[in-house]
Amino acid sequence: MKEIRIRENDANQRLDKFLQKTFPALTKGMMYKAIRSKKIKVNRKRAEFSQILNTDDVILLFLPDDVLIKKEKKITFNNRIKVVYEDDNILVVDKPAGLLSQSAAEGQDCLVDRIRSYLYQKKEYDPKAEHSFAPCICNRLDRNTSGLVIAAKNAYAAREINEAIREHHVHKFYHAKVEGHLRSDMDVTLYMKKADTKALVSLEPQEGYVKAQMRVHPFRREGDSTWIKVELITGRFHQIRAGMAFLGYPLAGDGKYGSLRRENMKLDAYRIVIDPIEMELEQNEFMK
């Protein structure tokens, strides 16, 4: 029998979601069968799959030890990050171009691992003391996009920031260098669909496509290119890259979307503004 006491970072999530994150060897089928047969209990009472866990709840698991092995959380000890803002709940960091936001394979260098290493060395994160939570990022940037990323130090911050993003209370602004001379501001509405590693774009609504909106402001010419500021109204996959290419202004150096120039793509998330939310912030606007 194994006993787990729910800590603050584990609370406010479903029992089944917590168990899946904590014990990767515990299959869904085995977990649901164990809950139905009372081999998994909460506070010594019959449990429900979807019940929300509270701080200090006690989970009892009458299951074999080999399915109750916790997922190992490794620390990379690479804390090279540029911190733009930090408080008790969040970090805002400046991701360099070329660095993955999250690893796609074991051992790959990425921003998330660097943030966890940074917080571990500050003694603000101990993977051995956590059941299911690890510091995480709330917005992602493509590998070749640089700029500001919000990271949550605790589960409360992750919930609040992710909810703010879903409710469009987080506003993101980018600089980009595009081919051609863009002469005037544009309010852009397109429809986009992710297809493998590219985004498909349409002027009209289509099945499977979602609305993509952004505001574009040209502010400087550089030879036969234009530097633009972009405010994302929605946050779609490759929205700026695919959208600007569709409009005839691909990002210079972005071969995936039609640029033939041999230069590094310039796309940088330079500003984030968060509307007033429940979580207190010392400031709500972040700039590079």
Examine the pLDDT at 119 and tell me if it is beyond 80. yes
Average pLDDT over residues 246-273: 96
Q: For position 113, what pLDDT does the model report?
A: 95
Tokens at residue 108, please? 């790959």
**What are the residues whose beta carbons fall under 8 Å from the beta carbon of 106, sequence distance 6 or more?**
none
Whether residue 226 is predicted with pLDDT greater than 90 in this model: the reply is yes
Q: Which residues are catalytic?
A: 142
Q: Identify the structural domains of the chain with CATH numbers, from first to last.
A: 2-67 (3.10.290.10), 82-167 (3.30.2350.10), 172-271 (3.30.2350.10)
Share of the chain above pLDDT 70, in %: 100
| 34-55: pLDDT as tens digits | 999 999 999 999 999 999 999 9
User: How much is the pTM?
Assistant: 0.88
Confidence of residue 177 (pLDDT cuts 50, 70, 90): very high
| Across 220-231, average pLDDT | 97
**Half-sphere exposure in the Cβ direction for 4 (13 Å, CA):** 25
> Which whole-number Å values give the CA distances from 71 to 26, 93, 105, 284, in the listed order?
11, 27, 16, 35
Q: What is residue 43's predicted lDDT score, i.e. its pLDDT?
A: 97
Q: What pLDDT score was predicted for residue 262?
A: 93
What's the pLDDT at 105? 75
Strands (E) in the chain, as ranges, are: 2-5, 40-42, 45-46, 58-61, 82-86, 90-95, 136-137, 146-152, 170-179, 186-195, 198-202, 210-222, 225-232, 267-274, 285-287
Mean pLDDT of 21-39: 94
Is residue 280 very low, low, confident or very high in pLDDT (cuts 50, 70, 90)?
A: confident
Look at residue 201 and tell me whether its pLDDT is greater than 80. Answer: yes
Residue in the structure block whose two tokens are 């569709």: 246
pLDDT digits (tens, 9 = 90+) for 60-109: 999 999 999 887 777 888 889 999 999 999 999 999 999 999 987 777 89
